[in-house]
Structure 1
Amino acid sequence: MSDQRDPTPYDALLLLSFGGPEGPDEVVPFLENVTRGRGIPAERLKEVGQHYFLFGGVSPINEQNRELLAALRADFAEHGLDLPVHWGNRNWSPYLTDTLREMAKAGHRRIAVLTTSAYASYSGCRQYRENLADALAALEAEGLEPPRVDKLRHYFNHPGFLGPMTDGVLRSLADLPGGVREGARLVFTTHSIPVASADASGPVEEHGDGGAYVREHLEVARLIAGAVRAETGVDHPWDLVYQSRSGPPHVPWLEPDVCDHLEELHGSGTPAAVIIPIGFVSDHMEVLYDLDTEALAKAAELGLPVRRSATVGADPRFAAAVRELLLERAAGERGVPVERCALGSLGPSHDLCPIGCCPARAPRPAAAGADSPYA
């Protein structure tokens, strides 16, 4: 087998995602899993659950993960990569611990992990690593030998992630009325997080206002806007805004909110906008409700023509990017020189999260990092 198809030392890939309910009876238990330890009353969970009940109590994320799982398996088979692909979630079935238990019992000893989060942050990276450590500790307590897990690097600036989103923007612009298309503003959106968490995201030496979280999103927005300009010849102005805030009012979170921003754009005479959810890999609940429901309703109320651009989902180019990231990491683990693909000025992200990267709210072990107890 050639180096281009050799996954050694890995014997499996794990798709690790957030998870979501698949029926009305699962909504509140799912939200209890997500918020465990935060002291949120059941009444509040039922209130938040109304977002899910609007869609029959079903989050689309699990079905989208099944589609991505199928796309990864098809891509691997097409390119002669003989590597099984498994799927586990942090907060709902199939649970991470159950999946890792099955993989360990099947004899998998070295597992590459793809998380459905492209950027650096506590909730988007370290929390997944903490969940991995918890799952490995659970296997150890059961008497199983825990496998080694290596998280694939952040892929926000990989062309296989950027290309599908750029095409989505072009389709959305083409769908706008001709009279407002050229003046449309590009509104890039991602999940708001506490300002303190954003400032602490990424390696210690990179800390600053917004940390790696904001810097990486700004880079993605700049790259997509540049690709759109190259394709259309129009230099659309753009902004980075935020959505889905869930914290108490007295705690500063990243702003502006997407709906507030649409009001500002309308007030300033902007003729149209395209909302681009660059912070999300697929069209899960925060896209369906916060953007397709709330933000588009706000735009309709304002009389502002708005289109919402597509996420990456199970695009074959993204599946190919995952294969490239896995083989790149495998070659590096074997000491084989390899080109690490990344667009823009930030370059490829680190393979191993350094100590102090996206620090935890409280000291907890995390897998797949320089301080991992399971390295």
Structure 2
Amino acid sequence: MKIRQKFFVLSGLVGVIIAVMSCVGYYTAYTNLERSVEGELSATVGAEAQGLDGWIHGKANYAVAAATIMPSVGNKGAVPQMQELLKMVASDKEVVGLVNATETGTFVSAKKDNTGKVNPQERGWYKQAKAANGKLSFTEVYKDSTNGKLVVTAAMPYDADGKFAGAICEDIELGTLETAVGNLKYHGEGKGLLISPKGNIIASTDEDENMKPVSDNAALAAHFDEMVQKGEGYFSLDTPEGKKVLAYQTIPTTGWIMGISVPEDVVFASLTRLKITYAILTLLGILIAVAASLKFADSLSTRLERIREHANEFAQGNLAQEPIVIDTQDETGDLAAAFNTMGEKLRSLISDIAKTSEQVAAASEELTANAHQSAE
């Protein structure tokens, strides 16, 4: 195998090493960047979810406060006092209704006493509160029949004499939900949505999806059970608009799932740029290594070829060659200098031999002449 071929193989090995090192570096950078993107996406959803959780919890505190003080009023003969208390805690414009209902049939709001006209036992929120074991609970979101706005009912039970006595019903208008969902953006892109634990889309940037079941969205429905079980995370899904990444987080107070779906090319734009950068750098590294190796191989081969030709001329008896000129400070330069010295020594040696031969010939002739004289 010639030197050029050896260097070509060597440059190939160097290229492979560069490629492997680039792949390892790319994988490490990709992993770190992917985690960063995931963290940023999750933080975007988490910030809105946390804000919404604080908002809904703050609103529900009216029901909690009313349920705390209502047992002291009693179940009978204190309707005006009940209404005064309900008015006091229901000072928020987004609280569209606050009702106290009891096991004895009391059904009083801040403005009206419907005792005897409405049976609390038939109301879903009341049954839910009764089964909640003293904890705050929320109904499914629904549209108000009068204004069409989204409303959720918070139900807070309370006890008297150690047993369930009644519950506070608080109707909360959810215009803030639509605002929060609309604010969900990742680098200015994305579609926000809010899903109830039962699989209904409460609010979405795409208003056509509002108050529709998740099952109407096949791509989302395929992951809904996973979302409920895990509580937070992200996954890829195929939509008519293309591949998207959906990050989600559960709101603790209500169990609602808040999510944002962003086009995959937006989410992984930085990863795509990283891939292209590493590919270009790897290709340039390999090309430079191969070019440098081949150039060095050609240079070395050229110098060795000149020395070989010089040696062949010596072998043919041509000692009258010009000295080899190789201006490099390496082994080939030393080898060329050695050949030049060898040529000078050979020429000097041949010259000395020629002179000695002439002297021997002259001496021989003289001896021959002497021998003739002696013979005569």
The answer, yes or no, to whether TM exceeds 0.5 is no
| Greater share of residues in strand | 2
In which range does the TM-score fall when normalised by the shorter chain?
Answer: under 0.3
The TM-score, its normalising length taken from structure 1, stands at: 0.24
The TM-score, its normalising length taken from structure 2, stands at: 0.24
| Greater share of residues in helix | 2
Largest Rg, 1 or 2: 2
Greater relative contact order (Cα < 8 A, sep 6+):
1
